[in-house]
Amino acid sequence: MPRFVCRCMDVTEEEVIELIRDGVRDIQLLKRLTRVGTGPCQGKACLEILVKILARETGLTPDEVGLITLRQPVDPVRIGTLAGEVHEEEC
Ligand code: FES
């Protein structure tokens, strides 16, 4: 049974480890290639796991692996809300 790193985007630990063993050592690139952290929870449940896996597989500390750039919005927002649409529940 696969171990999921990112349940929102269905990314498994095996996929992540394969990329690391293929030479991906940059946390930002690993995020982009796997899409980890780009789902509805915006990485709240998975980015820390991704850092730990990269650290474990490379022998680095999590601090040496570095931080992942989080982009706004952190919480899911409807496109209509950004466009100024008013929802009935907000009235
Ligand atoms: S679990 Fe990865 S984005 Fe939600």
User: What distance in angstroms lies between residue 37's CA and the mean position of ligand 1's atoms?
Assistant: 5
Assign 34 a pLDDT band (cuts: 50, 70, 90): very high
Look at residue 70 in the predicted model and tell me its pLDDT.
67
**Amino acid identity, position 86:** V
Give mean pLDDT, residues 20-26.
Answer: 96
Residue 38 to residue 30: CA distance in whole angstroms: 12
pTM of the full structure: 0.76
Assign 16 a pLDDT band (cuts: 50, 70, 90): very high
Domain range 4-90, its CATH number among 1.10.10.1100, 1.20.1250.20, 3.50.30.10, 2.60.120.10: 1.10.10.1100
pLDDT tens-place string over residues 56-87: 999 999 999 987 776 666 677 788 888 888 76
| Maximum separation of any 2 CA atoms in the chain, in Å | 54
User: What distance in angstroms lies between residue 83's CA and the mean position of ligand 1's atoms?
Assistant: 25
Cβ of residue 46 lying under 6 Å from some atom of ligand 1: yes
